[in-house]
């Protein structure tokens, strides 16, 4: 199993506080002769529509010196998960979880905004200290 990101437990706790049920930690994506591991899978029952929503979450702390280098690697990983799930006919949406601090510092830059848009990046922004979801970005 790969080493967990520094903010992994805070993201997990924020999802649980928001009434998500963690169904896999980590979540294995098996595709033909290979397996990849996303950080977690979570489900939530939408009472109004009686629909069950499932998401795959990839947690990223972005602690390396070069944010952009780590960001580009994370986007490749994110896209691989999306493409494999789509090819298997799975309906879960993939989200990249980041801290509110990293979001405020890095994801508001024009280049990062453009790349996030082109990668169709869905973000789950978490207040790490409070362990609560700050914002969902589709």
Q: Which pLDDT tens digit goes with each residue over 19-73? A: 999 999 999 999 999 999 999 999 998 776 678 899 999 999 999 999 999 999 9
Contacts of 117 (CB under 8 A, 6+ apart): none
pLDDT of residue 48: 66
Q: Is 32 left (phi over 0), alpha (psi -120 to 50) or beta?
A: left
Cα–Cα distance measured from residue 136 to residue 32, given in angstroms and rounded to the nearest whole number:
32
pLDDT of residue 2: 62
Is 123:137 a contact under the CB 8 Å cutoff? yes
Q: Find the radius of gyration of the CA atoms of the chain.
A: 15
pTM for the full model?
0.93
List domains and CATH numbers for the chain: 8-47+70-137 (3.40.1350.10)
Mean pLDDT of 77-93: 96
Mean pLDDT of 8-29: 97
Mean pLDDT of 100-127: 97
Model pLDDT for residues 72-81, shown as the tens digit of each residue: 999 999 999 9
pLDDT reading at 12 higher than 60: yes
């Amino acid at each position: 199993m790969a080493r967990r990101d520094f903010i992994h437990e805070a993201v997990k706790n924020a999802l649980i506080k928001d009434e998500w049920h963690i169904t896999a930690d980590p979540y294995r994506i098996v595709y033909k002769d290979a397996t990849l591991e996303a950080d977690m899978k979570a489900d939530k029952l939408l009472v109004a529509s009686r629909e069950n929503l499932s998401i795959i979450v990839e947690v990223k702390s972005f602690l390396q010196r070069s944010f952009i280098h780590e960001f580009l690697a994370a986007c490749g990983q994110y896209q691989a998960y999306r493409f494999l799930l789509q090819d298997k006919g799975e309906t879960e949406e993939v989200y990249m979880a980041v801290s509110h601090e990293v979001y405020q510092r890095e994801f508001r830059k024009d280049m990062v905004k453009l790349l996030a848009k082109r990668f169709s990046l869905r973000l789950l922004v978490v207040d790490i200290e409070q362990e609560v979801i700050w914002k969902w970005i589709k």
